[in-house]
Structure 1
Amino acid sequence: MRSRGMKAGAIGVAAVMAGVVLTGCGDDSEPAAGKPGASAGASGGAGAQEEGTAAVRAAYDKTAEAGTAKMAIDMKLSAKGESVTTAGRGALDLKEGDSVMTVAAEGKTVEQRVVDQVLYQKVPGQKVQGGKTWMKIDLKKAAQSQGVSGRQIGDPAQSAAYAKAITDKDVTKVGTQKIDGVDTTHYRVSVDVAELPGGAKMRQQLGATLPMHVWLDEDGRLRRQQIDMTVKAPASASAKPDNSAAPQQVKMRTVMNFSDFGTDVDAEAPPAGQVADMTDEAMRQSRQQS
């Protein structure tokens, strides 16, 4: 039986940091870490390519088998000449999917937890609905409302789904590179969106393929994963006539780094009396944006 992998924690961070439902098509841009050196040659033939495909397919389960890890996520959203960067730092239970993290964006720091696929957030000094200090969003419910079978495309650990969606022609070895002092092998991957959960709808939204870059350590575990895409939001019905022909485009880059496997993760839901359920409001806002 496959492990649950890094499901909810990764979904939660993607959900809050992106601030949008992922709709649009992939953008296969160069990785943020830059091009590796001369070792970044061709994969060396069909045998090497098959070996690389097997390594990428197995990486998510091998990472989950490590139990826990520290996680750093950096996201950049760019649109209309402006950009917003968000940085998250914390720890993740790779099997259960729970996480604890501090997220910094636009001058604010947010305390964040993901427990049993429910996202909890607290902004120091701010109150939410009913004077509560924490807000929560049921990630599974929110994702299902978008027709993606309880998961978002931003989840980097859909082990079975990614394994099914990746073939030999979809994986290219780029080269070797050190990530936080650890030797890794860098692969460029193209995922068949139609093979992912909710793929029929996702293919319409994202295009045929989802481009990724992954860096695996000598144990076959993920040390870094990068996803680049262009989010295309349909023109609003209230848009001005001169702008209605062109949908808004947001370029999104998400880079996730994993380290310190085996670290302690203490993810607990806040006391119920301090929490306001904002799931329906988040879903309503998402529908308005789409």
Structure 2
Amino acid sequence: MRGRGTKAGAIALAAVTGSVVLTGCGGDDTPESKGNGASSSASGSAGAREEGTTAVRTAYDKTAEAETARMEIRVKAAAGGETVTSTGQGALDMTEGDSVMTVTAQGKRVEQRVVDQILYQKMDGQKAPGGKSWVKIDLAKAAEKQGVNPQQIGDPAQSAAYAKAITDKDVTEVGTEKVDGVDTTRYKVTVDVAELPGGDQLRRQIGPTLPMEVWLDDQGRLRRQQVDMTVKASAASGQPESGTSPQQVKVSTVMEFSDFGAEVDAEAPPAQQVADMTDEALRGGQGQGGQGQS
């Protein structure tokens, strides 16, 4: 699962700086009690909570069992009084971690592919260094240099690791909703960041807990995932704090999945058309390397 998460993590990585979403703004509703008396009520509530925990913890594996899916992502990042919004549509191979996607950010369109743990991007009307059409970032190398990165938090494959950090007290069933015409059950989830792979580093970047909301269909698959976090800019970039740079970035991401089993045709661009920007991305922040700027 670690390899899959690293590869598919490119989706959130390329979409913007960070990952997550609207916010856990659902109420603190608890499941309705069943039966009579306080004892049976408590037992029913606990049972419902356990069922919800089981559903959420197994959702990522059940989603991955579909092998492929169409995906949409919407990301909003805010820092220093400025907000950047990006959207993406494409298809994801959850077995191999490969993907194809078109990302639109600040009115610019970026074609994106992830193949064998390599992220490729091409921006319309703009050349990469050396006159190349594409830039690439080696995600395996980036992971080795930086360890677990908050940009991967929006990734459903990587999120499977979160399931191990979820306990009964961390899951609340909010209710039922339709997502793209499909009936779903919505859950609020709190993840203990310390229990995640690379938890110590993540705690420095995003704090002790990670709030999520997930919408599961009647087959227990993920139809929508929302996450919300504030990333400490200096910790996320590995650069020293500066009086002129924002001290934190608020990032919101929503990811939706549909058309399970869809074809994913992800191929690497011709090598002669690609500029390797991995080192530049690691030094200056992934967003710059992925924009194909000359």
Of 20, 26, 29 in structure 1, the residue corresponding to residue 23 of structure 2 is 29
Mapped contact 1:135–1:277 kept (Cα < 8 A)? yes
Mapped contact 1:6–1:94 kept (Cα < 8 A)? no
**1:85 aligned residue:** 85
What does 1:13-28 align with in structure 2 at a 5 Å threshold?
13-19=11-17
Of 34, 37, 43 in structure 1, the residue corresponding to residue 31 of structure 2 is 43
**1:273 aligned residue:** 272
Q: CA deviation at 1:116?
A: 1.3
**Structure 1 portions without partners, runs of 5+:** none
Q: CA deviation at 1:3?
A: 9.6
Closer, same or farther: CA 279–197 of 1 in aligned 2, 3 Å: same
Partner-residue secondary structure (3-state), 1:203: helix
**1:133 aligned residue:** 133
- What's the TM-score once normalised by structure 1's chain length? 0.85
Q: CA deviation at 1:184?
A: 0.3
* CA RMSD across the alignment: 2.8
Partner-residue secondary structure (3-state), 1:158: helix
**2:250 aligned residue:** 251
Closer, same or farther: CA 177–210 of 1 in aligned 2, 3 Å: same
1:81-130 deviation digits (Å, cap 9, x = unpaired): 32111000011112111100000011110100011111000112321121
Mapped contact 2:22–2:252 kept (Cα < 8 A)? no
1:193-227 deviation digits (Å, cap 9, x = unpaired): 11111111112222111110000000000000011
Please give the alpha-carbon distance, in whole angstroms, between the structure 2 residues aligned to 1:202 and 1:227.
15
Mapped contact 1:57–1:166 kept (Cα < 8 A)? yes
Structure 2 counterpart of 1:249, one-letter code: Q
1:16-42 deviation digits (Å, cap 9, x = unpaired): 22236x7xxx999345xxx69xxx942
1:120-158 deviation digits (Å, cap 9, x = unpaired): 001123211211101000112112211229993343323
Please give the alpha-carbon distance, in whole angstroms, between the structure 2 residues aligned to 1:4 and 1:47.
35
Closer, same or farther: CA 249–275 of 1 in aligned 2, 3 Å: same
Closer, same or farther: CA 27–226 of 1 in aligned 2, 3 Å: closer
Mapped contact 2:190–2:209 kept (Cα < 8 A)? yes
Closer, same or farther: CA 113–262 of 1 in aligned 2, 3 Å: same
Please give the alpha-carbon distance, in whole angstroms, between the structure 2 residues aligned to 1:268 and 1:192.
37
Closer, same or farther: CA 126–187 of 1 in aligned 2, 3 Å: same
Mapped contact 1:140–1:150 kept (Cα < 8 A)? no
User: How many matched pairs?
Assistant: 271
What does 1:1-290 align with in structure 2 at a 5 Å threshold?
8-9=7-8, 11-19=9-17, 29-30=23-24, 41-44=29-32, 45-148=45-148, 152-158=152-158, 161-234=161-234, 238-239=242-243, 248-286=247-285
Structure 2 counterpart of 1:128, one-letter code: A
Please give the alpha-carbon distance, in whole angstroms, between the structure 2 residues aligned to 1:85 and 1:117.
25
Please give the alpha-carbon distance, in whole angstroms, between the structure 2 residues aligned to 1:150 and 1:87.
18
Identity of aligned residues (%): 64
Closer, same or farther: CA 13–278 of 1 in aligned 2, 3 Å: same
| Higher helix fraction (1 or 2) | 2
Mapped contact 1:142–1:283 kept (Cα < 8 A)? yes
Mapped contact 2:21–2:226 kept (Cα < 8 A)? no
- Larger deviation, residues 209-218 vs 147-156: 147-156
- What's the TM-score once normalised by structure 2's chain length? 0.84
Q: CA deviation at 1:238?
A: 4.8
**Structure 2 portions without partners, runs of 5+:** 33-44, 289-294
Structure 2 counterpart of 1:282, one-letter code: A
Structure 2 counterpart of 1:62, one-letter code: K
Please give the alpha-carbon distance, in whole angstroms, between the structure 2 residues aligned to 1:278 and 1:73.
24
